[in-house]
Amino acid sequence: MPDKTLRALILGDVVGQAGCRALFLLLAGLVKEHGADLVVVNGENAASGFGILPEMVEKFFTAGVHVITSGNHIWQQKEVIPLLDQEDRLLRPLNYPKGVPGHGSCIVEIRGTKVAVVNLQGRVRMNNILCPFLIGKEAARKLEKETKLILVDFHAEDPEEKEALGMYLDGEVSAVFGTHTHVQTADERILKRGTAYITDIGMIGTDGSVIGFKSAIALERSLTQLPIKMEAEDGPAVIHGILVTLDVSSGKALSIERIRTASPI
C-alpha cells in the first residue's frame, strides 16, 4: 500500500434474510465507493435472527467479507459449531472459558499488511463470562508482536461498559467498535491515544423494524412481558457500519466515519 494507510469497512449486525440480501447486493459497491481494503462483518443474527449457518459463512466470504465476528447468539445454530474450530476467520467472543469451541481472534493479510481482529463480549446484562477488559488487554499485547493494526468488536449491551473498554484499550488497539444493540450511535471519534471508537455500529436489517425484528412481536413482548420469541423482519434493509482509515506504520486511526446505505429490495 503506497500511501501507508489501510481502510477498514466494518458492518453489522446482519439480521435475517433481509440483512443477508442487502449485504450480498451492496457490499461490492460499498467496497468500491469507499476504497475499502478490509471488510469485517458481524454475522451472529444472520440465520433468521439467531446465529449463522455454515452455508451463510461461505456466502459471506464469497461476497468479499474477510472476517466474520459474532456474539452471544453464535451458539444457537448447532450446525456451525464444528466450523468454529475449522475456520479461523469466523470468530466467537474471545473471553469465553477455555475449552469452548472456536477462536476469538485472527490475523488476516491484506495486500502484504497483517491486520488482527479480536471479538469480545460484554458482561453487563449478559452472561457473566471472563473479563473482557483483562482478556482484551492480554490479546492486544500478544497480537502487537505480529501487527500494530488491531480491530476489536465489543459485542455488549451497556454503553458505559463499551466506552470504558474503549478508554482502557486506547493506544493499544486501532479501533474499538460496539455491536449487539443494532442501533447506530452518533459518538464516533478518535480517542486521545489514537484508537477509533464508536458505541455501536448498528445493523444490516429491515428499515422500520424493531432492531431488525417484527415490530408487532416486539410490541407484544413489551406490553405483556411474556418471553415471546422474536422473529426477523423481511423487506428492504439498511446497511449500517463504519469506515476506519488506519496508519499502517503506527497502527493509529486517522479517521472514522459512519456508513448508512439503503437497499432497494
Q: CA of 55: how far to CAs of 20, 74, 77, in Å? A: 12, 14, 12
User: Which residue has cell 460499498?
Assistant: 30
Amino acid letter, 264: P
Active site residue 34: no
CB atoms within 10 A of CB 141: 10
The answer to whether the CB of 110 falls within 8 A of the CB of 38 is: yes
Q: What's the grid cell of residue 39?
A: 471488510
Q: Return the sign of the alpha-carbon dihedral for residues 179, 154, 62, 115.
A: positive
Distance CA 23, CA 230 (A): 22
Q: Which of 34, 66, 73, 155 is catalytic?
A: 73
* Angle at alpha carbon of residue 26, lines to 11 and 80, rounded to 5°: 55
Distance CA 201, CA 203 (A): 7
Amino acid letter, 204: I
Distance CA 218, CA 22 (A): 23
Distance CA 177, CA 167 (A): 12
Sequence-distant (6+) residues with CB within 8 A of 243 are 7, 8, 9, 10, 34, 36, 255, 256, 257, 259
The residues annotated with a catalytic role in the active site are 73
